[in-house]
Every structure is written in C-alpha cells, then in structure tokens.
Amino acid sequence: MLSIFAVSFFSVLKIFLVCLCGAWLSRRGVFTKEFRQQLSQVILWLMLPCLLVSKLSVSVNPANLKAWSALPLTALVYIGLGFTFGGIAMLLVRPPADERRVLTAACTFGNSGYIPFPLVIALASTAPIFANDPEAAGRGIAYISVYLVAMSPCLWGIGFPFLSGRPVRSLRWQQILSPPVISILVSIALGTIPPLRSLVVETGAPLRILLDSASLIGQAAIPCALFLVGASLADIRMSNEGAALPTLGALFWVRQILMPLAGVLITVTLWRLRLIPHDPMCALVLMIQASVPPATNLVVMCQVHNRGTQAMSHLILVTYLAAVPMLTIWIAFFLWVVGNL
C-alpha cells in the first residue's frame, strides 16, 4: 500500500508542479491575460483535437465501441449525482442567494479533461499494475475522450446558461459542437470505418503521416493546459466577497468525499455487470473522473455573465488547493481497488 501511495503522490505532484510553473509565469508577467486567451484558443482549436484524434482513432474499433458506450452514460450519471448532491448541500447550508447557482454548478461539473489526462499518463508510466502494459496511457486518453463526448457538451450547453440564469433552451449549437467534441466524433469515424482506418490509422497507411503529425502537436496540449490552469488560479484574489465558509465546506464534501465514493461504487458495479471493458485503466479513469475538482471554465462562464465571479473564483482556488492531498489519497485507494477487481 505504501508503494501505491508513493505512485499516487508523485503523479499528483507532477501536475501541481507544472501548474505552479504556470502560476509563476503569470506572476512574472509572461503569461499575460491576452497571451492566455490566445494560447487557450490554440489548445482548443489545434493541440487538444490533435491529441484526441491521435490517441482515440488508434484505440477505438467496431469491436470495442459498443463496450465503451457506458463511458458517456457514466458521465451523465456523474453530472446528475453532482447536481443532486449540490441541491442537497444547498438546502443544508442555505448559502446566500447569489451563491446558490455557483455552488450547484461547482458540485455538478468537474475538470474532466485537463486534470485526468496528465494523471492517467503519469499513472500509466509508474503504477505497478501497468508495468508491462506500454499501451495503457493511450487507452487511458481514449477512455477520457469518449467520456468527454457527454461531459463537454453538458458543461457548455447546460452549465453555461445555468450560471447565467437563463433556461437551458437558450444554448447554441456552437456550445455543444466544440472542437474537442468534433475531433472525438472524427476519431471514432477514423477508427471504426474500415476504408478510413486503412487510409489513415493503420501502421504503414498512405496518410499515416497525418496522424503522426497530430500526435506530435498533441504532446504540447497537456503541459500548456496545465500552465493555463496554474496561471488562472494565480489570478484569483481572496477577498471579503468570496464564498462563505459553509459553501466552501459543502463543496468540499460533495466533490472530494461523496463523489469519489459514489464513483468507486458505480465503477465496481459496472465492472461486475460487465458493462465496461475489463481493463484496469478504464476503471481507474472512471474513478478519477468522479474525484476531480470543479472545472476552471466555470470561472470563465461567471466572468462572461458578470455574476458570481468572486464566489466561484474563491471556491475554485480553495478546492484546487485541497485537491492536492485529497487526490493523492483517493488515487492510492483507486489503485488498490483496481488491483483487487
């Protein structure tokens, strides 16, 4: 168990150190607000799609596509659980009126991309259970990609109008069909349609150079994204306008205690019912997705709507600081559970 804890600790520490570099660059004035906006667009439109296409198209095929269908459905279950837990927490702590939607959204939507991606890559290279499995990282990225098919549209299609106070019907197609979602759909097509797979994906394929180039570009997505997470957290200022202490406590219990426990129960149930692939990496991905802190894009949404920004920023900052030790503990537990399935 001690070795598992060490693997977990150093995997989380890697992410924290890269985020710390982003925070330092922001404080030094290198990562200005304008630069971060431009870099986020490069990640959104180029780096992340390249990463998803290069990994998912290789891993997905007609045989496993049906088995993977449980991943986006699990994302919907997690969203529903987070929303329910957030509603119960709101009734218990009775936060101020301007913090109610902020608390509910933070409980509902986790950082399902930029935190799980580097965690999975780090664990695939260090955890003993994957010691003789060189393809584990690629499969992990593929599983996260399929999970995002449901999570990403819900974050922008439901979370965005929810924080604005507008009804869900006000969402636009651009918020649903984001570049990562489109790249995931393209990847599935490349991996499952035989002529396209023979043309682009298979080793020695005539257009394999496109996939190899995408893989090279995609390698920059994760460190750049973590730089942005660190820089964004460095911009958050603590003030008297931040979230109340009961609201912070409620979010901590929901996202870092209740959701990880629910994730373990749901994943083990799906495993025993054979509704997910009997791959330890798949089980680990689903457990990690339940334990991540809130999505940093929630702060951006509050800024766009000009409401709840201080409260959401306060929640995000405190939750991410608490996530360093909590993720370490939970991932050590997840590795132990996965090793005993």
Highest mean pLDDT among 24-28, 160-164, 179-183, 282-286: 282-286
pLDDT bin (cut points 50, 70, 90) of residue 298 is confident
pLDDT tens-digit profile of 114-152?
889 888 988 888 888 888 888 898 899 889 988 987 887
Is pLDDT above 80 for 87? yes
Q: Where are the domains of the chain?
A: 2-339
Partner residues linked to 284 by β-bridges: none
Residue 87 burial by CB count (10 A; 0-12/13-18/19+): exposed, middle or buried?
Answer: middle
The residue count of the chain comes to 341
First to last CA, the chain: 16
pLDDT tens-digit profile of 22-58?
889 988 888 888 888 788 888 878 888 898 888 888 8
Q: Which residues contact 228 (CB under 8 A, 6 or more apart)?
A: 22, 31, 36, 39, 40, 43, 114
What pLDDT shows up at residue 80? 95
Query: Which is more confidently placed, 299 or 74?
Result: 74
pLDDT tens-digit profile of 328-341?
899 999 999 998 88
What pLDDT shows up at residue 221? 84
What pLDDT shows up at residue 71? 92
Q: Which residue is it, tokens 């996965």?
A: 338
For the four alpha carbons of 293, 299, 300 and 302, in that order, the dihedral sign comes to positive
What pLDDT shows up at residue 174? 58
pLDDT bin (cut points 50, 70, 90) of residue 176 is low
What pLDDT shows up at residue 4? 66
CATH of the structural domain 2-339, one choice from 1.10.1740, 1.20.1530, 1.10.3470, 3.40.1130: 1.20.1530
Partner residues linked to 294 by β-bridges: 110
Q: Is the pTM of this model over 0.85?
A: no
Q: Give CA–CA dist 13/295, Å, rounded.
A: 19
